[in-house]
Chain A
């Protein structure tokens, strides 16, 4: 099958039988490079023969152009002599360095002779028409004259090979093809005059940068849906938090090792606590429970929250009406060395359920449900310790190929906290580290890939159903 351009070339050759590539390029308005490749295709299909023809081209040099205009040096010499002998000395003054060339060529052509210091002309009516004609039309010049001009560098000679394309087959399908159906063709109904070219539909396509949601963001949204389905209301708070909510309200003693500077990121400044009753109750709780003098100034210090339980603490301090079921999913910050399994900022999912009747086994039931919905079908419980819960439990989930992995800390909120917040009910709370979990579920070897600065990685990431 012939392409549109192949047909154009064949049609042209039908008139000329034979043509060179440059000519076809010029006539058909196609780039020379396409003519070469098209001609090759036509040759393969047996429509044309490509022959190479050597062409000799002469070109006038700058010197040649000058001589054509001003005359040859020996011509000028003859004019200067005007039939009379002249002293070389005088001629030199008039002609400069051209004189040497002039004398040399004039002697070769037997136009002058030298006698001691004089130039004597042999003739006065020599015409230079042969040489000049040869300069203008080197192709048809006498070989001897041509050699002279070449040796005098008045012209140059170049050999070029040209592709000559000869038509072999006169018959070809003259049906026109189009590659693209256009609105214009449809409107004009001209499409009927053409055939639409076939594609190699089996070839793989070029790359397309598909817009995609981020896989880890999707996972986070999925977790929020799980919590919503389980009847929980989403609550959020800021990253900058007072130690009051990050620690004190959660019954973490002010000299507790977890509150040391290397365990949370500090921010300059102090927060404000207007709720005097809250301060009084927390002071009482700490001094009675841990037997030391509680300092409200420490509670006002600012940190980047190190646990989303700080949001739970804010919920509690707002003395919510019972029953209440809330969750918070967001970033927390902890100093650590950053490596394949550790980040200094990561997500936690904290939940709290406040209910008149709520027991430890109710809590275990909720945890089982949450993990089942996340896709962790097998879990086990281990006793644990957290300052703000009792009984406390650590949840381990089974990950294929890895075994049991710690996934969550949970427990019933200590009665001391509930009492301080005036909440007459039981409460369960838990925190789940999200990033490590996502890393395991997505099968990533490096936790930093959750935040990869690499669009290729994101573009290649498969979507999980």
Chain B
């Protein structure tokens, strides 16, 4: 008799007089209160289960009758609950996501199912598809777990999500805030230390820093940092995230044995008598500077990442002599375009008293520049800005690892630019001083200037001019893509 009112209350169809009766009953009858609490408890457990439920889950084995239970299942359920860290309601039959591609990830295999368990990947990147069709790429080092097909907890790591309408509402939960998708493409970066960031490439995302009362609506091009319970807007780093299309080429590169080729090429370079410096960032010795240490071109390899204004890496090499010839090369992944000058390598000094000091950078129009102080252009040189610049834009709109190289020769008085191993342009100089190095910064110049936004890997300084063929081979050997 009491359940009739409880059911009506639950359905929202209870009338005022009925509610009065229910109130009276619950006030006086402890047994009715208990029944009431239990029904609502089941109701809430069903709702929690439904939140993680998806239509296309594995077919359920039909059972025709309700059998009596053995106590064993309780132990099993308890251990599952323990495994899930308290996410007890999830259906152990249904996968929240499937691994589409694991590139250099030893902890996961292609095609494996992810449920509510925690995952830690130390190296590589993994592409996942959720049960509702959202495509997620997560880059190591990362720790994460799905709470349901629609809720992903990211303790740390970097994620790019492409969310179709069917998965609208997909939510990424970080230690410092949440991002709720409204059918869109976005990225979330949870660094080892510091606040999480949300970057919206397309569409709309709702964000809420932990502890913040109001939610924020972000649109394509917007980005925020969750900082001390507030969302602070920041510039977009669209290319800081590996996306699904890049994943397949990275996987193919690994499968083709590119990494071994790159390593043997590095060994050869290290034996080059003209070598000034070769930074592969694999040494555990702390490099001086301010930057994040993140994954490089290969699973588990390292690269410095420059995120904030003033981030830099210090390098002091080759300062004891002049370099009549100099080859500069690096793999870079630039997060964003259009910043005024991005520093690839700037000698600290830039003084007429010390001609030949080197500034190697990306211009605001994304061409590459090599400027040596005191040098002048040949009269026939066609340059907009008084310095040798490359012709082709350094980066496509979609960020990827690109190989940049510049060969300087003070004897032939030429500066030659290369993009991804391809010769781009030669600029002739009238006055060409031998190059001078010494104390320099990568990613910045003198603290707060010429900010590079992105990662640098395998930076090479060679005291001779590499040929076109050598540059082509350098790119081919170090290319992570296929």
A and B part of one assembly: no
